[in-house]
Structure 1
Amino acid sequence: MRYALLGTGPWAERTHGPALAAHPDAELVGVWGRRPEAAEALAGRLGTRAYADADALLAACDAVAVALPPDVQAPLAVRAAEAGCHLLLDKPVATTPEAAREVTAAVSRAGVASVVFFTLHFDAETGRWLRAQRERVDGADGWLLGRADWLSPVFAGSDTPYTASPWRRAKGAMWDIGPHALSVLMPLLGTVSEVTAALEGPGDTAHLVLRHAGGASSTVTVSHSVPEAATGVFAEVRGAAGVATLPERSDAPDTAFGRAVDALERAAAGGEPHLCDVRFAEAVTDVLARAEALR
């Protein structure tokens, strides 16, 4: 498929762009960004061309990969779907339920495929684990309890290009890495029926308590404000089958993104929609919006 890349920041430069340029079944037609000079530079490094007009780029493509802040991404995703492009989006798909619903509605109207890059589902090791836990139990013997902690030092002195991100500064860890935590818990425990508590901790730390359809419950703790020595990612589910703990990721992000490209192409060719489509992403946005309203 012919791909447009929208975005020129670190995620586009380090993950989306290299993965698309290297993928054997993808043609990277061009790059568009809000800063034309950055689009020119990134396009040159990727061996493609920069477009000054996003709609002209969309018209030349079959699919679009978006690496932009969520509230820039959402309206562009609607435009891309209306142009007939399949969507490879980033999480969160939007930071308001209304904007997320507009993306889902545009995908439905246009009949295009969608995949949202919840990284863990496309990493070889964590993706395999998630599939295994979904198949391991069902019905009354399903998972009953869950916990997910995502703790990083992005705002605590870490040397990372994401520290300067304005949208991350504005929305914090709950919106940036909260989707990762929910992408583990929701497929295993069920749809979130109620956000029963959402508390603030140090810096941008957030603690959520969730009830899931069917009676399961879970907790989420996320932060970009912990010292380097306190960082880590941990997730587990518990039930009659015992305890299952999320393994460490095995792949670089661009390798995982290549699998997301594969998933989009399968869906676009008439295969089953991927679990991580815009409908799932809309549900994640809805949970985070409910939590934000309680803080």
Structure 2
Amino acid sequence: MRFGLFGTGHWARVTQGAALTAHPGTELVGVWGRDPAKAAALAADLGVRPYADADALIADCEAVAVALPPDVQAPLAVRAARAGRHLLLDKPVSLTVADADAVVQAAADSGVASVVFFTARFDPEVTRALETAAAAGGWSSARVVMYGSIFAQGGPYSGSLWRREHGGLWDLGPHALSRLLPVLGPVAEVSALRGAHATSHVLARHDSGAVSVMQLTLDAPPAAQPFGYQLLGEAGVVDLPGGSGDPVVNFGRAVDELLAQVRSGHPGHPCDVRFGRDVVAVLAAAQLSEQEGRTVAVR
């Protein structure tokens, strides 16, 4: 399948670009980016053509792989879906529910396949653990702690403006919710507080009655960076696996699963744009709760 790569940053280079050029079932057609010089440099490294016009690349491919800030990704994904191109998007799908809804509608109208790359969800160990936990049921609560520190001098994401502005809630929150929602079900309402080190403390009540807690930051002290995913319920306390540290391998699996959808003729995936939209809805409610100091219902 012919793919177009949209984005020129670290993630586009070391993950998506690397995986697409190595995958036996894909042909990387070209690269588009908001900075033509960076697009030309990445295209040269990958041995493909740089595109100055995003719509020209959409016209020349069958599927798009997007590694752009969420507010840039969403309208581009709408244009690609309307053109009949399959979608391999990054998380979060967007920064607003309205933009996520537009992506979902465009994909539904065109009947294209879609996958949103929640990195660990494409690790078989994580998938099996979530399926086992969901089948067991009886979970009353869960806790996710993700304390990262990405703004250190010289780090690959230290210059990421959207991560600096929106923080761990929007960058790490999708990873947390990609584990919580399949086990505990949809979220009905959230209460959130912003703490020290730009940490979002999110309390979520799920439709199932379970309550989950997420603690998320990208600006933790270097000596305090715990990561953990824990379920509590009738089966006791279960620690979920963190997943593979190789995003290139996991992205290759995401490509496999998108191709399988296309071959089957029945688009639909646990991490499709509809799931991506539900994640955005929880994050948007948590952001509003932080801002207004009240419990917010999830749309």
Q: For residue 151 of structure 1, what is the aligned residue in structure 2?
A: 147
Q: For residue 179 of structure 1, what is the aligned residue in structure 2?
A: 174
What pairs up with 1:254-273 in 2 under 5 angstroms? 254-270=248-264, 271=266, 273=268
The alpha carbon displacement at 1:132 in A equals 2.5
Indicate which of 178, 187, 192 corresponds to 1:192.
Answer: 187
Whole-angstrom distance in 1 between the partners of 2:267 and 2:76:
25
Q: Is the 8 A contact 2:201 2:216 kept in 1?
A: yes
Q: Is the 8 A contact 1:88 1:115 kept in 2?
A: yes
3-state secondary structure, aligned to 1:162: coil
The alpha carbon displacement at 1:126 in A equals 2.1
Whole-angstrom distance in 2 between the partners of 1:99 and 1:206:
23
The alpha carbon displacement at 1:128 in A equals 2.8
Q: Does 1:291 align with 2:267?
A: no
Q: Is the 8 A contact 2:29 2:49 kept in 1?
A: yes
Q: For residue 224 of structure 2, what is the aligned residue in structure 1?
A: 230
Q: Is the 8 A contact 1:88 1:114 kept in 2?
A: yes
Deviation by residue 1:50-88 (Cα, 9 ceiling, x = unmatched): 111111111111100000000000000000001110000
The alpha carbon displacement at 1:272 in A equals 6.0
What pairs up with 1:55-70 in 2 under 5 angstroms? 55-70=55-70
Q: Is the 8 A contact 2:111 2:267 kept in 1?
A: no
3-state secondary structure, aligned to 1:163: coil
Whole-angstrom distance in 2 between the partners of 1:6 and 1:33:
6
**Cα 1:274–1:158 shift into 2, 3 Å:** farther
Whole-angstrom distance in 1 between the partners of 2:101 and 2:153:
35
Q: For residue 271 of structure 2, what is the aligned residue in structure 1?
A: 276
Q: For residue 210 of structure 1, what is the aligned residue in structure 2?
A: 204
Q: Does 1:166 align with 2:161?
A: yes
Q: Is the 8 A contact 2:96 2:284 kept in 1?
A: yes
Whole-angstrom distance in 2 between the partners of 1:250 and 1:54:
32
101-110 vs 120-129, which deviates more? Answer: 120-129
Whole-angstrom distance in 1 between the partners of 2:142 and 2:181:
9
3-state secondary structure, aligned to 1:227: coil
The alpha carbon displacement at 1:249 in A equals 2.2
3-state secondary structure, aligned to 2:282: helix
One-letter amino acid of the structure 2 residue matched with residue 53 of structure 1: D
Whole-angstrom distance in 1 between the partners of 2:187 and 2:153:
33
Whole-angstrom distance in 1 between the partners of 2:143 and 2:220:
18
The alpha carbon displacement at 1:162 in A equals 0.6
**Cα 1:272–1:37 shift into 2, 3 Å:** closer
TM-score normalised to structure 2 length: 0.93
Q: Unaligned 5+ residue runs, structure 2?
A: 291-299
Deviation by residue 1:87-136 (Cα, 9 ceiling, x = unmatched): 0000000010100000000000010010000111012332332233223x
Q: Is the 8 A contact 1:124 1:251 kept in 2?
A: no
3-state secondary structure, aligned to 2:120: helix
3-state secondary structure, aligned to 2:196: coil
Structure 1 runs of 4+ with >4 Å offset? none
25-34 vs 235-244, which deviates more? Answer: 235-244
One-letter amino acid of the structure 1 residue matched with residue 140 of structure 2: L
One-letter amino acid of the structure 2 residue matched with residue 254 of structure 1: V
Deviation by residue 1:231-286 (Cα, 9 ceiling, x = unmatched): 12101112222222122322411111001101111112225621111111101111
Whole-angstrom distance in 2 between the partners of 1:120 and 1:90:
12
Q: Unaligned 5+ residue runs, structure 1?
A: none
The alpha carbon displacement at 1:159 in A equals 4.3
Q: Does 1:248 align with 2:248?
A: no
3-state secondary structure, aligned to 1:73: helix
Whole-angstrom distance in 1 between the partners of 2:153 and 2:121:
26
Matched-pair identity in %: 53
Q: Is the 8 A contact 1:129 1:246 kept in 2?
A: yes
Whole-angstrom distance in 1 between the partners of 2:254 and 2:131:
15
One-letter amino acid of the structure 1 residue matched with residue 271 of structure 2: C
TM-score normalised to structure 1 length: 0.95
**Cα 1:273–1:9 shift into 2, 3 Å:** same
Q: For residue 86 of structure 1, what is the aligned residue in structure 2?
A: 86
Whole-angstrom distance in 2 between the partners of 1:294 and 1:232:
25
One-letter amino acid of the structure 2 residue matched with residue 240 of structure 1: E
